[in-house]
Structure formats: structure tokens, C-alpha cells
Structure 1
Amino acid sequence: MQNLKLDHLIHYVQQLDNFKYPGHLFTLNQGGQHERLGTFNKLAYINNAYIELLDVYKPDVLQKIVKTDEGRVSFPSKIVQDQYSQGMKTMAFGTTDIEQLKIELEAKGVDVIGPVHMHRENVKGDKTSWKLLYIADPDYRVKPPFFIQWNEHEDVREKKIAPIRQNEFRIKSIDINSTERAHTVRKWQRWFDMELVSESDKTTTLKLKNDDILFKISDGNYSGYKTVTLQDSKTTSPYTLIIRGLSYRFEAD
């Protein structure tokens, strides 16, 4: 299915303007504003993805848009649904042909919204644009990842990003809780054409066919994204930081 790969995570952080990772662990780069959603972001680029820190600067705009068909599935909608609790809300899978992806999903009977044309503008007035595709199935326990296609050619985009990537960090896995694990696993395998890596009494591990990041879906008394595990090539022992509602676990490479 369209060579899907993890593109980025979305971590909601309140008062983002004043936020820094402990010990400046990740370097934060200025993102921009999503005017139609009332949100803004900062970005931490690492080896195989990036972390988007997201905050809301116009709550009234976000509150209004989440009442629309597009808005209720949009990437910041979970912030409102979770009553503004901090933490990881969702993630994006990258594709190089979002229109074809839409055709493939609809052929499987999956209801989608989009592609939605998006852009953000930084303080210098530079604009970055992309397209988003959302799964509109209302019967999910964990907010599903959405799809993104950048309007810039991959080689051009990567050349711009390469100097600010912190290549010592690499996402290895993402832990997800689900109150109905079998339901979530079944949906994710259908939606994202994921492969089964392993299964135990409490956890099912999946992966995308063209990516090596593991998605560990476990039984839980709540549904949501719990932990991001990263490899750190500059450490000799593992460590864990709980930051604004999300656990970051680092393993020695």
C-alpha cells in the first residue's frame, strides 16, 4: 500500500512557546501556524522521522472546526476530545501518491476524508504545503494515524532537513494501549496493510511493510498512545523521561 512509512508523531504540549526538552535533549526548530485549525508547532527532526510538538493559539477556531466532518478527524481534534490533556495524540504515515492511496482505501470499503490541502507559514513568511488524508471510520478505539504527502519532492525536502536532523536518535517502537485490542489490531491491519510481527496474551506487535518501526498494541484500561522508544547512539545505558503526558524511552544503540 503506497510504501507507507512513519513520517511524524504529534505530541500536544501546552505553553509550547516556553517549552524545552529536559537538558535540551531534542533541538526544537520553528514550525509555523495552521491558520485554519488555530494551532502552531515546533519540530524536532531525528534519524527516521520527526516529532511535532503542537499547541493551540486560537481555541475558538479549533473548537468550531472539530464540529465539521473534516475537523472531527483532523490531527488536532483529539486535543479537544481529550479535554486538552497533554500527550501524544496521533501520528502521520507518509505516502508519495495520496490520490492513489485514497482509491485503494475506498476499494476496500474504507471511508476517508480528503485529500485536504494544508500549509503553514513561519515568521519569515515562508510557506510549506502538503496534503492530508484521514480515515473517517467513527468506530475506532485509538485515534488512527492519518496520511501525509508533502508537495515538495522527497529529495529536495530531505536536502533541506538533513542539516538539522539529530541522527543519533532513531524511533524503534511505539506503545499503544487499547481497551479493545483485537478491534484495534483488526482495523489497523485493514487500514494500513500492516504485518503481524508477534502476539502474546496482552500485546500484539504490528509493522508497516516498508518500515521497520514496531507498533505494540496492548490491553489497557484506556485507549491512547503511551510510549515512544528510541535508540540513542550516544548513550551507554537506557533511560526514560516522562514529558508532558508521553513517556520517552531511550535504549543504547
Structure 2
Amino acid sequence: MIQFDHIIHYVNSLEAAREEAPLDIHSGGVHQRLGTENLLSYIDMRYIEYLAIRDRDLFHDHLREAEDSFAKAIHKCNYKEGFIRYALATDDIVKLSERYRAQGFKTFGPLYMERVTGGETLRWSLLYILHDQHMFPFFIQWEEDDDARRERIKGFGASMEPALLRIRQTVRDTAEWQAFFDVIGIWQGNIDDHTVIELEEGNQPAMSIEIGTAGESGEYLGADYKFI
């Protein structure tokens, strides 16, 4: 099972994100070991993660140690606000790692993570597919089962009504990206019933999103949003 999980929008300030984000903020928390913190805007169970650096010393310690991570993505994007990377959810992250290695990819993980939110600790695992030139999507497996997670998200006041999410992405080599997606059996960008990835080739990697819900299109904190 592969589904879209979330996209990371790096921001300099969570206070600014809380005021300027184009979607309602539903929750957030602290990654204590990584020196980062976030705010989340849910689109059903999928979400936008507004991510900021909380403790620069911890962040740079993690940056030096990690082979790949969202910290690496922030660094490679020169700490510029905007969309930096997205995550795909899986229900068997160990087997997925084996599948990628069998196809000649180098993997990093699974890594076991946690975040504290309102006194509650959430846990999950991450898998990164390493490449010298590309920051491919990473994979996440939540420790919660889907029903419990859905009820927790509903408790924040988020709508569970499915909405179209389309990510438009410019990459340097579409063939290499398609090889990444081929391993998980995804063709023509159809990640799940309500999420589509559209790739085009170009020298300057970039991302924007279209969301099938009410909102005002525009650039917010360095990222392009379109509401359709």
C-alpha cells in the first residue's frame, strides 16, 4: 500500500506561518532530537507540514550525522522558504527498503522517530532513497493504525472529506524519477485516488500544489498554492 502522506513547507518562522498560511492550522509539535518544530494543516488525513528550525545547534548536529533527512533537504535548498520534499505512506517500510535495494537503489533507514504534541508522543518510521543528484520523496510508516489516526485528526477539527491534491514538480531528469516511481508501481503520477504528481523536466527544480478546496491562490511564505 502506497498513499500520499504530507508535503513539507519550510518556513523561517512558525509565528508567520500561523498568521499567513492559506489553510487552517490544526496541530503541531516539536521534534526534540532534531531541533525542529512544526504546524500542520490537514487535507483529510494528508497534510501540509510547516517546518521551522527551533534549536540551531541540535539541527546542525543532526545535519552532520544524517545521510539524508528533511534537514538535508532544508540545507540543500539553502534555507529558502518553500516546498522542499514530500512523504509517501507505506504499511511495510522494511519490505519497501528491500524492494528498492533489489532494484539497485541505496537506502537509508528505516529510522525510528517521534514528536511530542500536547504531552502526547507520536511515533513513526522513515525511509530515504539516496541519490547524488535528486531528493526523491521519502517514505513514512505511522505507528498508529489508520482508524486511530483518523479519529485523532478529526479531533483537531480537520475535515475528512477527500480533496484533490496535485503536485506539479520540475526535476532535472524525469527518467530517473520515473525509475523511482516504477519500484512502487506508480505510473503517470497517480499516487492514490486523490493525489497526482505531475513531473516536467527543467534545470531549476521546483514544486507547487493545487488543492481541490476553497482558498485564495497565491504565493505564501515562498511557496505557490493554487485552490481549484
TM above 0.5: yes
Pairing 1:207–2:190 present: yes
Structure 1 unaligned residues grouped into runs of 5+: 197-205
Deviations 1:24-67 (A, max 9, x none): 74221332111221110011111251111100011222223222
CA RMSD of aligned residues (A): 2.1
Partners of 2:8 and 2:57 in 1: CA distance:
21
Partners of 1:94 and 1:193 in 2: CA distance:
14
Q: Specify the SS of the correspondent of 2:159.
A: coil
Query: Aligned in 2, Cα 1:55/1:44: closer, same or farther, shift over 3 Å?
Result: same
Q: Specify the SS of the correspondent of 1:218.
A: strand
Pairing 1:132–2:113 present: no
Partners of 2:223 and 2:79 in 1: CA distance:
14
Pairing 1:152–2:144 present: yes
Deviations 1:81-114 (A, max 9, x none): 2221000110110111112222222222221111
What is residue 203 of structure 1 aligned with on the other side? none
Query: Aligned in 2, Cα 1:108/1:182: closer, same or farther, shift over 3 Å?
Result: closer
Counterpart among 187, 202, 210 of residue 220 in structure 1: 202
Give the superposition deviation at 1:167.
Answer: 4.6
What is residue 250 of structure 1 aligned with on the other side? 227
Matches within 5 A, 1:171-250: 171-185=164-178, 187-196=179-188, 206-208=189-191, 210-225=192-207, 227-232=208-213, 234=214, 239-250=216-227
Partners of 2:59 and 2:184 in 1: CA distance:
28
Q: Which consecutive segments of 4 or more residues in structure 1 shift more than 4 A?
A: none
Asked whether the 8 Å contact 1:188–1:194 carries over to 2, the reply is no
Q: Which amino acid aligns with 1:160?
A: R
Partners of 1:38 and 1:74 in 2: CA distance:
13
Matches within 5 A, 1:1-253: 3-20=1-18, 22=20, 25-68=22-65, 71-122=66-117, 124-140=118-134, 143-163=135-155, 164-167=157-160, 170-185=163-178, 187-196=179-188, 206-208=189-191, 210-225=192-207, 227-232=208-213, 234=214, 239-251=216-228
Asked whether the 8 Å contact 1:105–1:111 carries over to 2, the reply is yes
Give the superposition deviation at 1:184.
Answer: 2.9
What is residue 202 of structure 1 aligned with on the other side? none
Asked whether the 8 Å contact 1:241–1:248 carries over to 2, the reply is yes
**Could you tell me the TM-score, scaled by structure 2's length?**
0.90
Partners of 1:9 and 1:21 in 2: CA distance:
19
Q: Which amino acid aligns with 1:8?
A: H
Q: Specify the SS of the correspondent of 1:67.
A: helix
Q: Which amino acid aligns with 1:61?
A: L
What is residue 199 of structure 1 aligned with on the other side? none
Structure 2 unaligned residues grouped into runs of 5+: none
For these two proteins, the number of residue pairs brought into alignment is: 227
Asked whether the 8 Å contact 1:4–1:211 carries over to 2, the reply is no
Query: Aligned in 2, Cα 1:21/1:218: closer, same or farther, shift over 3 Å?
Result: farther
